[in-house]
Chain A
Amino acid sequence: MDLHYTPEEQAFRAEVREFVRARLPRDISAKVLGHRRLAKDDYVRWQKILHERGWIAAGWPVEHGGTGWSAVQQHIFDEECAAAGAPRLIPFGLNMVAPVIMQFGSEQQKRRYLPRILSSEDWWCQGYSEPGSGSDLASLKTRAVRQGDHYVVNGQKTWTTLAQYADMIFCLVRTDSSVKPQEGISFLLIDMHAPGVTVRPLYLYDEEHEVNEVFFDDVKVPLENLVGSEGKGWTYAKYLLGHERTGITGVGASKRELALLKEIAAQQAKDGRPLAADPVFRQRLAQVEIDLLALEMTLLRVLSSRTKPGPEASILKIKGTEVQQALTELMMDALGPLALPFSRTAIEEGGSAAPLAPDYAAPLAARYFNWRKTSIYGGSNEIQRNIIAQQVLGL
């Protein structure tokens, strides 16, 4: 057992840190560190900078344009980007559909889509959930019917993150209603600009336009856009979810948020001294810091074991989102009554939400509410517990 990073890993960290310092645009990092809302262009600009360096696809194999980094290197990269205030990489293309295309897609699909994901030419979104199919995903109803050289798709998807920017959507659709629900599902790639596709915003309770409903009304999709075989979509979806759960841990971002929380606690006052010196707040903060430290060690334990994380990854999803939520809560609590003023303009463009409130306070209560989504998405934390109970504990 040796819990130090190797000299090679330390050198790698220094290289990443230097690159991010030199190339991450200041206007973007200011937004991230100030918890402002990012525009499409903020994400795409940073992704293109990473693509130019060959670092956009940390987890991909080299033959498809990936870095070939070890899991620990990927974690170091993630930590350094997060610490500097880089935007998260939009995962729907890079980390979700790409591994499915690599594993199950046709040669033509690989040649067409993978380079466009690397270059951020296509913005992807995810078409899984439906109004009647959340955690019970296999009950989904969106139908795709074969007609000559294409499918005709009808139905509705929901919770579609940033679909308003998307060029492509990967969808689970029902191609056969006569078999068991899981066996009649197929995995389809659909052009968001095709006739019959409509996007309607769903505002979250922090008033952010982050998710959408997507309607399909007689949308024609070429047969060649089917991934793998008809009826195997459920298998591909499960493969994808396994990829999503380790990424969702968010250790790098949580470490950054902890540092920002400490800055706020040093600036806010209670009983005539810094909040950071208040015994009650200090205990709450230290407990979350300890949880995060243990989580970081758990993540490194999984990443350094060289075996692909299985259902244990659900532990990372549960604990990772609990820590993230606890940090947003402490940040809001640190403000006291300054958490109350709300201004969409301040959150989107900067500035304060009230004349007597500091700029940094403006987004924090909204962020607390926004972050409640994390224990719901990506398979709710209750679904993760079901997975562990069945697949790890054998109950």
Chain B
Amino acid sequence: MSDLAMLRTMLLIRRFEERAAQLYGESKIRGFLHLCIGEEAVAVGVSAALEPDDNVVSTYREHGHALVRGVGADAVMAEMFGRSEGCSGGRGGSMHLFDVQHRFFGGNAIVGGGLPVAVGLALADHLRGVQRTTVCLFGEGAMAEGEFHESVNLATLWHLPVVFCCENNLYAMGSALTRTEANTDLVLKAAAYGLAAWSADGMDVRAVHDAMRRAVTTVRDGSGPVFVEMRTYRFRAHSMYDPELYRSKDEVAEWKHRDPIDLEVGRLRVDGLLDDAGLSALQDDVQREVEAAVLAAENGTDEPVEQLTRHVYADAAEEVRS
């Protein structure tokens, strides 16, 4: 993926989420809506290091992760509108985006709940001799959960091909890392389980990409799982209901000086790969993509209520796709 393409994807995520927030204000989108604005470099840099066939397991702040893995903006937007055309048929919403075709396995809204599943996906590949990497994304809040510790231990014990990718945005909802972890050195904590671990600047898409490429290479070499901490920051509130009482406006402003999009735009300008016209063209392009997705979602269909109890168990017409 070229640097320009990575920038475009960051712009797409940013625009998509800004629009989602507007639509939330208009009550077109409901439920919880967690934006990753400010953290786009992580989604893009991580995905750029992966093959299309790799597995991704994610969290409830996953719009960006889904988009970078190839889930269409229209399918994600339709999902948030609760439409049949949504990537989870309208059954999941913002927190539960799934797309098996792109090996995007959700969308897990239980903090830490995706880690054991990622270990299992990797175990299946290990048992069948399939060369594939499973990336599990989670926030630093998950590192206080038992499931983190159980899963990292198990994956390391069994040498499974997993990259545990921690998006450390410093706040578990409203609880600062320093208020919830006795040891705030996340790399040190993870390394205690005997796996390779390092951190990267999560506001710099190239740094994320490099750190992730190294991780994937290590995993593919059969050296077992890797832990990578991406140091990032969420510019927006935790969800749409968060008055942000737990952090100062100055702190947020300070981090916004490190906006991952501005950083990349600046670099590309210096390198002569982007000018004003080029940036405008990219912005117009993602704007068109997002608006087309919104229009499609507006015009989407609602699943008939008669089908309410579908998808609880397999039925004859519904093969397990795996």
A and B interact physically: no
- Residue ranges of B at the interface with A (Cβ–Cβ < 8 Å): none
